[in-house]
Structure 1
Amino acid sequence: MKNSMCGRYSVAIRVKDKNNKASRVAQLLEKYQLEARYNAAPPQLLPVVTGDKPDQLQLFSWGLVPHWSTDLTPRNKPPINARAETLLEKPSFRALITSKRCLVPANSFYEWRNTAAGKVPYRFLLQSEALVSFAGLWDTWADKHTGQVLNTFTIITTQANELVRPTHDRMPVLLTPEKEEAWLTTKAGYHTLHTLLQPFPAQEMKAYPVSALVNAVAHNTPALWLPAPEQGSLF
């Protein structure tokens, strides 16, 4: 069984996204002109759109800290992912389904494939290279003694589609503009929402190997999106 985590992704507004007027997140990213994140990782502050403020782009820390949590020590790492199949089984997620859903804007996500030469990072994105959203959950934690407030989020994952499966057995839930609205605004219960949490069609995605520079969180440059030479290639 492979690691169930999706732990790296990218988010940056591009010309083709600016023309995508149907996408709520694309319009908000263009409006706020946030710094591009080519190598987004926990616990960075990253853009999200919440159901209670659907016309704003907010910066939340990646890694969910439930409002009822009493221990923020490093040994208790906040979950960066939530499995779609078991959301109702986890106290951290169960109460958030009906009231605290969010969209996490993204251009792509990275996963590492085991090869004879070691682990090779791959970039997964839409065939159109357009911006999408990951389905997410969020919560607010407040320190009763200091008044510190911490807004955090987690990304929901589902079973990998045929494209992702050779590299990883999980993938983020990708939402098209139509499903963005349904995930953010619907008042339906979990069982209706669960129909949105399915693997994205493999034929509408593509993937390619990228530079090992992505392995280090400190690297945040468009060069991370450049294709790396295939194994065995001289160029």
Structure 2
Amino acid sequence: MCGRYSLGVRMVFVRRRMQEQGMPVDEAPEDDEIRETYNFAPGYYGAVYRADTPDHGHDEQSQNGEGESTTEAHQDNTTTTTTTEKTKYKIQKMRWGLIPFWTKRQPDYGSMMRTINCRADSLAENKGMWTSMKRKKRCVVICQGFYEWLKKGPGGKERVPHYTRRKDEGLMYLAGLWDCVQYEGSDEKLYTYAIITTDSNPYLKFLHDRMPVILDPGSDQMRKWLDPHRTTWTKELQSILKPYTGELECYPVSKEVGKVGNDSPDFLVPVNSKENKSNIANFFANASAKKGMTATKEVGGEEVKSESRETVDGEWTEDNAPKPIPQDDELSSKDLKRKLSTGEGPRHESSPPATKRQKSLSPIKDADKEQKHVLPGNRKMRDATRNKTSTSPTKSKSRAKQAAATTANKGSKRITDFFKK
């Protein structure tokens, strides 16, 4: 679940938008550091929002002590405000597919794929690989929306991609966990992350039984989730990982999104929408009318005006498909092919006249450099200027060779005559 999402906007826009939503951003990567794509896949470097804390945190005792005092402080609004002001938050470049800090060597791709998601129910108990991360390395993954494939047909062989986004078309924030690893013999640090999933809400039950945990920007749940002073896992933190109750919009999109590497703003457009370029009804539409339709407006960006795109079922039917050109019912396919090859068959109104069609067959030139033509099968045709028939180029060459051989034989003698002398 949640193996592909969209992030087709620049970091300068993301930072400005988050600050407008009351989320402080003290540090952010440059635009070219984050993969800007409408088809974000595991292994790509994405944008992660978190508190600016040390990579490995403090020892366990100091964490628990700090967590307890902070929990009491959170009951006092004044103390909470003071603590929040001391904490800095940043957007950081990280790779999708969490690798724990204790890993010695780089894992293969299959191992990384197993940690792109973390089930919320696996965090309920204080055991397993996620224990240290859920206490001190919680984060939010920034995106526009996520993809999920609906299984249809016998045995679920047909998979139809669906795109889910916020109803207000704003940025989507997914609860996640992060970690930092440094392999043996390497001086570089690698930051990675995983997206937490939970049970699907009633709206998305038809699509899949699980969905990512979505947090509203500037909400109390997001503030608690990102608070670095909460280093003890509590039922309150666990309760945040629940199905989303806000308004979402989900619709089928182009199957081209299924291939990693494909990238297009059309992936965010309903597949049966008039704005989708893959809709054959719009194939002959004026290209300028569709110019500038990018997914930036899908996020409510300032670059392009936002526009509502509702999914309409049954908009495309086979009745709108181009009709085949009618053929002459009196002619069989075999007779029609034969007559067309000889220039006798019927022609469509848009076809060129028979004379022009014949001229394009096989042009050659004779000794007088006059244009002549040969039909298929070496058939002769009349010369309109001299009332003579043209000769096949193959036969002309054969006759020329015979004449040259005859001439050569007249001036030569047999080799036996040479020794008689």
TM-score calculated relative to the size of structure 2? 0.50
Matched residue, 2:103: 69
The offset of 1:182, in angstroms, is 2.1
State the one-letter code of the partner of 1:118. E
Q: Distance in 2 between matches of 1:28 and 1:220?
A: 28
Is 1:222 equivalent to 2:265 in the alignment? yes
Instruction: Say which structure, 1 or 2, has more relative contact order (CA 8 Å, 6+ apart).
Output: 1
User: Cα–Cα, structure 1 residues 195 and 212, in superposed 2: closer, same or farther, change >3 Å?
Assistant: same
Matched residue, 1:24: 23
Going by fraction, where is strand more abundant, 1 or 2?
A: 1
User: Cα–Cα, structure 1 residues 232 and 128, in superposed 2: closer, same or farther, change >3 Å?
Assistant: closer
State the one-letter code of the partner of 2:253. V
Q: Distance in 2 between matches of 1:17 and 1:44?
A: 20
The offset of 1:180, in angstroms, is 2.5
The offset of 1:212, in angstroms, is 0.6
The offset of 1:55, in angstroms, is 3.2
Q: Distance in 2 between matches of 1:51 and 1:84?
A: 21
User: Cα–Cα, structure 1 residues 27 and 180, in superposed 2: closer, same or farther, change >3 Å?
Assistant: farther
Q: How does 1:138-177 map to 2 (within 5 A)?
A: 138-177=178-217
Matched residue, 1:100: 137
8 Å contact from structure 1 (residues 17, 130) kept in 2: no
1:196 to 222, 237, 240: 240
Matched residue, 1:37: 37
User: Cα–Cα, structure 1 residues 173 and 219, in superposed 2: closer, same or farther, change >3 Å?
Assistant: same
Among all aligned residue pairs of Structure 1 and Structure 2, give the percentage whose two residues are the same amino acid. Answer: 31
Moved more, 89-98 or 173-182: 89-98
The offset of 1:159, in angstroms, is 0.3
Is 1:181 equivalent to 2:223 in the alignment? yes
Q: Distance in 1 between matches of 2:25 and 2:314?
A: 35
SS, match of residue 114 in structure 1: strand
The offset of 1:221, in angstroms, is 1.9
Which sections of structure 1, spanning at least 5 residues, go unmatched? none
The offset of 1:52, in angstroms, is 2.2
How big is each residue's C-alpha offset from its partner over 1:46-87, in whole Å with a ceiling of 9 and x where there is no partner?
Answer: 110122265322111101100012343316512100001112
8 Å contact from structure 1 (residues 209, 228) kept in 2: yes
SS, match of residue 195 in structure 1: helix
Q: Distance in 2 between matches of 1:199 and 1:232?
A: 32
User: Cα–Cα, structure 1 residues 112 and 219, in superposed 2: closer, same or farther, change >3 Å?
Assistant: same
Q: How does 1:54-93 map to 2 (within 5 A)?
A: 54-74=88-108, 77-78=111-112, 79-87=115-123, 88=125, 91-93=128-130
The offset of 1:147, in angstroms, is 2.1
SS, match of residue 166 in structure 1: coil
User: Cα–Cα, structure 1 residues 141 and 213, in superposed 2: closer, same or farther, change >3 Å?
Assistant: same
TM-score calculated relative to the size of structure 1? 0.85
Instruction: Work out which of the two has the higher radius of gyration on C-alpha atoms and give 1 or 2.
Output: 2
8 Å contact from structure 1 (residues 159, 199) kept in 2: yes
State the one-letter code of the partner of 1:103. V
8 Å contact from structure 1 (residues 11, 107) kept in 2: yes
The offset of 1:24, in angstroms, is 2.9
Calculate the aligned-residue CA RMSD, in Å: 2.8
User: Cα–Cα, structure 1 residues 67 and 16, in superposed 2: closer, same or farther, change >3 Å?
Assistant: closer
Q: Distance in 2 between matches of 1:222 and 1:68?
A: 39
Matched residue, 1:11: 7
8 Å contact from structure 1 (residues 97, 137) kept in 2: yes
User: Cα–Cα, structure 1 residues 25 and 216, in superposed 2: closer, same or farther, change >3 Å?
Assistant: farther
